[in-house]
């Protein structure tokens, strides 16, 4: 057993009790402690004098402990306080409902270090709920006056204990091998692992700490990117289908030799003779935009290659991804292959099947819908058709990737609204065919470039960065809660003109149940008090899928004037007659989400508008509302969102609380991400399996499931 497996209870200052508490942080062994990185640092070499503190400033202070107190307040709770003083002034530290603070400080002589936000009150300077630490008078000054690591804590775990574990673990660094080969470290000018860990936990200087940090950030990104590069490379060595795109463009009637099609496409009207591009123009009721044409070319180029396509198409809401998909489908079907289009919900699948039938049935191309709500007999029938090759385009939900569905010769799979699908589903689709089918993923979530690299680093990316002409831009208004009645009066007017409206209420809590309750409350207030004369429906996440689909379908068919819902309507639903989107408590949403919601309107010929209801409670809210008013550019919004809220939110990982990254920050470290990505592509290019002794540890790290996280947790 490696010494790194030594349990932390044997380290000085930890002991069995400390070790038990450390388990809450996932720290059991010396190795766990070494990789438990500090959350921040306190530079105690130069603390500000108390008198110099400014209200609003976040600071670390050191002062002699003067007195401790605790006084009860309403509801049986307690406020603890301590007064500390240095040569220049004094400050009161307060803690809400932490009665143990008094117990821990009472009767002690020494100093307190506290970190928090400084406030000015009538009684003088105050720091509410600071992080704190007691320093006994006899502690050596030099042990104190340095850059101190501050670790994340959990209930009942003391900062002191985590520090002891991490400091004690440093004695074992000699046993720790460096997974990055010396050659790579030299080229990237990276310090070794042992030095870096020492500097991360006990920095000699700010420069050393930063250098150590970059090495650890590089390493973390490097493993992730090696995994993606390997995945990408393995699909490029896989045998795929080389669609005869060149011949189709020239107007030849061809069927790929391997297609094993039952039918000769040439026998079907519309599938013969015409050059592919001319046929696209004939089958669509509009001309493709420049961006659509470029992306279609990129897709067709991929399809022509002999290995499987793995491409992501990013295009804002309404940018016309369906038409692009149709072009890919046409090329595959004309080559004699079957295709599949997957959508995240039944209603979206149904919407696609209707649209695609309109385009393709006149050409003799057969579209079938595969959804869970089909009766058993229907299901058997469409499955039989898929298996025998009597379906050219299978449209469906995840029902499509269920085991029972087999294809005779699936050549292309398109996944709409990627963020609801994970890698596993992509793989399941791929496994449905002998030769790996081409895979095209379409998403309306504009993702900043740095994130695209991490989330979809194994995909090639196409961007539709242009909207079809002639759209009336959606006008966005920002109103405060006191103007709410006025807003609903305007909604009534628009409905009087024959339009429909969405009203979105926010996720108010972590639990779906409480969110549903909030939606119900809003619904009954609108229906009973504000707009009793209108037909209002309610939609929330607690309803059964079937119920939701039903409500959505009836709203689309204009049985209701207003749909009150939680964010379940976020993805791709098309109700062209809906021209108003009211978003209650808009301050509770991130920009990307507001943008997605807003995209539910403006899909028809009518002028549309979006009303954000939010009180301007903070600078941050003001900024977000202004950005929404200013722009409808999804990429700009995504960048601003990343800047204001950080990456976890966009990736949809914040609920699970894991960005998966231990030290790297996708925003702040985006330069290093690029460096690590380039290094990973080079190393995997030279040595795809990362074989050889010097790569052994790195190889294991790359294979760790954590390195799949970025993609998998996009839920």
List residues binding Mg ion (CB under 5 A).
321, 572
User: Which among ligand ADP, Mg ion, none contacts residue 289 (Cβ within 5 to 8 A by kind)?
Assistant: ligand ADP
Return the range that interacts with ligand ADP (CB under 6 A); candidates 226-234, 265-273, 311-319, 420-428: 311-319
Q: How far apart are CA 293 and CA 464, in angstroms?
A: 9
- In this complex, which beta carbon is closest to Mg ion, that of residue 316 or of residue 683? 316
Name which of Mg ion, ligand ADP, none residue 315 binds, using a CB cut-off of 5 to 8 Å depending on partner kind.
ligand ADP
> Can residue 415 be called a binding residue for ligand ADP (CB under 6 A)?
no
Report, in Å, the least distance between residue 416 CB and Mg ion.
6
Q: Is 176 in the site for ligand ADP (CB under 6 A)?
A: no
Q: Could you say which DSSP state residue 472 is in? A: P
Is residue 7 a contact partner of residue 153, using CB atoms and an 8 Å limit? no
Q: What minimum distance in Å lies between the beta carbon of 353 and ligand ADP? A: 14
For the CB of residue 319, give the shortest distance to Mg ion in the complex, in Å: 9
Among 255, 444, 569, 679, binds ligand ADP (CB under 6 A): 444
**Interface segment toward ligand ADP; rule CB under 6 A; list 236-244, 312-320, 426-434, 612-620:** 312-320
- Any idea what the Cα angle at residue 118 is, between residues 667 and 43, rounded to 5°? 60
Please report whether residue 19 would count as binding ligand ADP according to CB under 6 A: no
Pick the binder of ligand ADP from 292, 397, 527, 659 (CB under 6 A).
292
Phi/psi region, residue 156 (left: phi>0; alpha: psi -120 to 50; beta: rest), is: left
At 216, which helix (H) or strand (E)? helix 206-237
Q: Is 315 near ligand ADP (CB under 6 A)?
A: yes
Cα separations (Å) of 269 from 92, 266, 338, 362? Answer: 85, 7, 17, 8
Q: How many CA atoms lie within 13 A of 425 on its CB side?
A: 27
Tokens of 457: 């680093």
Q: Which two structure tokens, joined as six digits, stand for 143?
A: 């042990």
Give the Cβ contact number of residue 546 at 10 Å. 11
In angstroms, what is the minimal distance from the CB of 145 to ligand ADP?
Answer: 59
Q: How many residues bind ligand ADP (CB under 6 A)?
A: 15
Least separation, in Å, of the C-beta of 471 and ligand ADP?
Answer: 8
Cα–Cα distance between 134 and 670 in angstroms, integer? Answer: 38
Beta bridge partners of 93: 82, 127
Q: Which stretch binds ligand ADP (CB under 6 A): 194-202, 315-323, 404-412, 651-659?
A: 315-323
Using CB under 6 A, which residues numbered 456 to 475 contact ligand ADP? Answer: 468
Closest to ligand ADP by CB, 296 vs 332, is 296
Choose among ligand ADP, Mg ion, none what residue 319 binds, the Cβ cut-off being 5 to 8 Å by kind.
ligand ADP
Burial class (CB in 10 A: 0-12, 13-18, 19+), 422: middle
Length of the chain: 715
Q: Tell me: does residue 320 bind ligand ADP (CB under 6 A).
A: yes
Cα dihedral across residues 364, 370, 371, 375: positive or negative: positive
In the complex, the smallest distance separating the C-beta of residue 397 from Mg ion, rounded to whole angstroms, is 14
Query: In 171-317, which ranges are E strands?
Result: 310-315
Q: Does 21 bind ligand ADP (CB under 6 A)?
A: no
Q: Which of 33, 50, 288, 440 binds ligand ADP (CB under 6 A)?
A: 288
293 CB burial (10 A radius; 0-12, 13-18, 19+) = middle
Site string for ligand ADP, 675-704 (x = CB under 6 A): ------------------------------
How far is the C-alpha of 521 from the C-alpha of 652, rounded, in Å? Answer: 27
Closest CA to 171 of 208, 198, 136: 198
Judged by CB under 6 A, the stretch of 45-53, 321-329, 490-498, 627-635 that binds ligand ADP is 321-329
Contact positions toward ligand ADP, by CB under 6 A?
286-289, 292, 315, 317-323, 444, 468
């Amino acid at each position: 057993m490696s010494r790194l497996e030594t349990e932390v209870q044997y380290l000085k200052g930890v002991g069995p009790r400390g070790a038990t508490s450390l388990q809450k942080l996932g720290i059991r062994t010396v190795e766990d402690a070494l990789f438990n990185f500090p959350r921040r640092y306190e530079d105690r070499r130069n603390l500000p004098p108390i008198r110099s503190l400014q209200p609003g400033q976040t600071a670390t202070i050191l002062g002699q402990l003067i007195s401790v107190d605790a006084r009860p307040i309403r509801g049986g709770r307690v406020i603890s306080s301590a007064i500390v003083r240095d040569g220049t002034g004094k400050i009161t530290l307060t803690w809400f409902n932490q009665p143990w603070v008094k117990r821990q400080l009472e009767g002690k002589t020494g100093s307190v270090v506290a970190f928090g936000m400084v406030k000015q009150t009538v009684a003088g300077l105050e720091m509410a709920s600071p992080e704190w630490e007691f320093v006994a008078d006899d502690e050596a000054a030099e042990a104190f006056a340095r850059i101190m690591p501050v670790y994340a804590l959990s209930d009942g775990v003391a900062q002191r204990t985590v520090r002891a574990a991490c400091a004690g673990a440093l004695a074992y660094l000699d046993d720790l091998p460096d997974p990055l080969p010396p050659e790579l470290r030299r080229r990237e000018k990276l310090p070794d692992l042992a030095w870096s860990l020492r500097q991360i936990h006990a920095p000699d200087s700010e420069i050393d700490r930063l250098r150590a940090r970059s090495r650890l950030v590089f390493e973390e990104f490097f493993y992730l990117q090696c995994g993606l590069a390997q995945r990408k490379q393995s699909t490029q060595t896989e045998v795929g289908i080389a669609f005869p795109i060149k011949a189709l463009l020239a107007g030849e009637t061809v069927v790929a030799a391997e297609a094993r099609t039952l039918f000769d496409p040439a026998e079907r009207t519309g599938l013969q003779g015409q050059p592919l591009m001319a046929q696209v123009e004939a089958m669509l009721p509009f001309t493709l935009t420049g961006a659509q044409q470029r992306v279609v070319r990129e897709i067709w180029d991929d399809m022509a290659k002999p290995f499987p396509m793995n491409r992501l198409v990013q295009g804002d809401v309404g940018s016309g991804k369906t038409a692009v998909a149709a072009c890919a489908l046409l090329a595959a079907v004309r080559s004699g292959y079957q295709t599949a289009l997957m959508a995240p919900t039944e209603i979206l699948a149904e919407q696609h099947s209707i649209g695609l039938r309109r385009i393709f049935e006149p050409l003799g191309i057969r579209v079938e819908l595969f959804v869970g709500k089909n009766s058993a007999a229907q299901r058997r029938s469409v499955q039989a058709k898929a298996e025998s090759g009597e379906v050219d385009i299978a449209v469906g939900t995840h029902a499509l990737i269920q085991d029972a569905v087999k294809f005779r010769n699936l050549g292309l799979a398109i996944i709409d609204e990627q963020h609801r699908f994970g890698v596993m589903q992509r793989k399941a689709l791929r496994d449905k065919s002998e030769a790996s089918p081409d895979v095209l993923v379409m998403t309306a979530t504009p993702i900043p470039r740095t994130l695209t690299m991490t989330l979809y680093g194994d995909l090639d990316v196409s961007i539709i960065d242009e909207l079809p002409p002639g759209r009336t831009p959606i006008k966005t208004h920002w109103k405060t809660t006191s103007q709410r009645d006025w807003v609903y009066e305007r909604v009534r007017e628009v409905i009087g003109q024959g339009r429909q409206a969405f009203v979105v209420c926010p996720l108010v809590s972590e639990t779906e149940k409480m969110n549903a309750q909030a939606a119900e409350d809003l619904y009954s207030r609108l229906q009973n008090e504000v707009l009793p004369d209108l037909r209002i429906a309610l939609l929330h996440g607690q309803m059964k899928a079937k119920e939701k689909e039903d409500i959505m379908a009836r709203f689309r068919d204009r049985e209701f004037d207003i749909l009150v819902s939680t964010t379940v309507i976020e993805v791709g639903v098309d109700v062209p007659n809906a021209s108003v989107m009211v978003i209650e408590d808009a301050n509770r949403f991130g920009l990307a989400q507001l943008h997605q919601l807003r995209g539910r309107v403006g899909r028809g010929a009518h002028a549309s508008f979006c009303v954000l209801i939010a009180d301007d409670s903070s600078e941050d809210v003001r900024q977000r509302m202004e950005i929404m008013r200013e722009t409808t550019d999804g990429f700009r919004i995504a960048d601003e969102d990343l800047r204001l809220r950080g990456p976890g939110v966009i990736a949809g990982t914040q609920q699970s609380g894991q960005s998966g990254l231990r030290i790297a920050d996708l925003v702040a470290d985006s330069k290093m991400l690029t460096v690590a990505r380039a290094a990973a592509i080079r190393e995997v290019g030279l040595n795809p399996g990362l074989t050889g002794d010097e790569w052994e540890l790195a190889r294991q790290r790359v294979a760790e499931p954590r390195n799949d996280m970025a993609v998998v947790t996009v839920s």
